[in-house]
Each structure stands twice: as C-alpha cells, then as structure tokens.
C-alpha cells in the first residue's frame, strides 16, 4: 500500500503537468477541445494571410483565397506601390459548428492610406474560412468594405 503524503502528491502533480506539456502544442498550449488541431491550424493560417495583406503581398495572400476568387481578389487591390496598411485588428475566429470546425468567420479592420494622399482609410474584411479536407487545409472567401476608397486611381501593374 502506498502512503499518500504531500510529497507524493507533489510528485504526482508535477508528473501530470509534465505529461500535459509533452502532449501540448509547440507553443505550450494544450488544445483539449480540438484534438485534430483545426482551430490551431486555422489561427496560424489566418495570421499568415492577414499579415500578407497587411504588408501588401496580395499575390501571396491570394494563395489562401478560394481558387474561384483568387484572380479577381488580386485585381481588386490598388498597386502595392501606392498603398500602405498601418495596422489591423482581428476579431476571434467563430466556428459555425464548434464540434466539426469546418466553417469559421472573423472580421479584420485595417487602417490604410494611399501614398499620394496620406489620408487614412478604414477597410473592413469579413473572412469566411472553410476547411477543404481532413488535413486542415483552409481557404478564405474574403469580402472587403472600403477598399474602393484606396483604388480610386486604378491598379497600375
């Protein structure tokens, strides 16, 4: 019979935390409610996509876009030489079905300006993400409000 002392409890508790850390993600978080890491993979992809938009790499951002929308997506932006995004805020991802985690939405609010006007404009992007396969491949169907304010001089490519 094993005696239960506070020392044994401490060792058992330390082993439990060590095990939880070992099965957790590389960033130290344990996704108990998401064993297939769908939310984790979406958050990582969403950040990469949003950063590409933020830094004017619209061609790279288009790789995340629904293939049927990708070409029109790139053409909808002004020339990256004349547009600058200064900042953005992202709402948390919300899944339609928290168990299946196949469709999710988020809203990103960007601040941007044209280099020839220096007037800051607010652009709101609704991101609708959908999972393509069981391997956590995600695509986005973006819709922008306010982007036309920056495209007044057209796209010079």
Categorize the per-residue pLDDT at 55 as very low, low, confident or very high, splitting at 50, 70 and 90: very high
What the block records as the tokens of 1 is 């019979």
- pTM across the whole model: 0.73
**pLDDT tens-place string over residues 2-53:** 555 656 665 555 554 544 444 444 444 444 455 456 788 899 999 999 999 9
CATH, range 35-149: 3.10.450.50
Question: Which sign does the torsion angle of CA 31, 33, 35, 38 carry?
Answer: negative
| Token pair 């938009």 in the structure block, residue | 53
Return the domain boundaries, the chain. Answer: 35-149
């Amino acid at each position: 019979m094993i005696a239960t002392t506070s020392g044994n409890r401490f060792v058992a508790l330390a082993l439990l935390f060590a095990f939880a850390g070992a099965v957790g993600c590389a960033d130290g978080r344990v996704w108990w409610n998401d064993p297939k890491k769908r939310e984790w993979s979406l958050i990582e992809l969403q950040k990469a996509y949003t950063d590409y938009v933020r830094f004017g790499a619209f061609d790279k951002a288009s790789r995340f876009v629904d293939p049927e929308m990708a070409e029109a997506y790139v053409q909808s932006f002004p020339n990256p030489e004349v547009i600058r995004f200064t900042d953005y805020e992202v709402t948390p991802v919300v899944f339609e079905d928290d168990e299946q985690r196949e469709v999710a939405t988020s809203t990103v609010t960007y601040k941007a300006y044209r280099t020839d006007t220096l007037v800051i404009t607010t652009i709101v992007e609704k991101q609708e993400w959908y999972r393509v396969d069981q391997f956590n491949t995600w695509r986005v169907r973006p819709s922008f409000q306010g982007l036309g304010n920056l495209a007044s001089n057209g796209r010079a490519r």
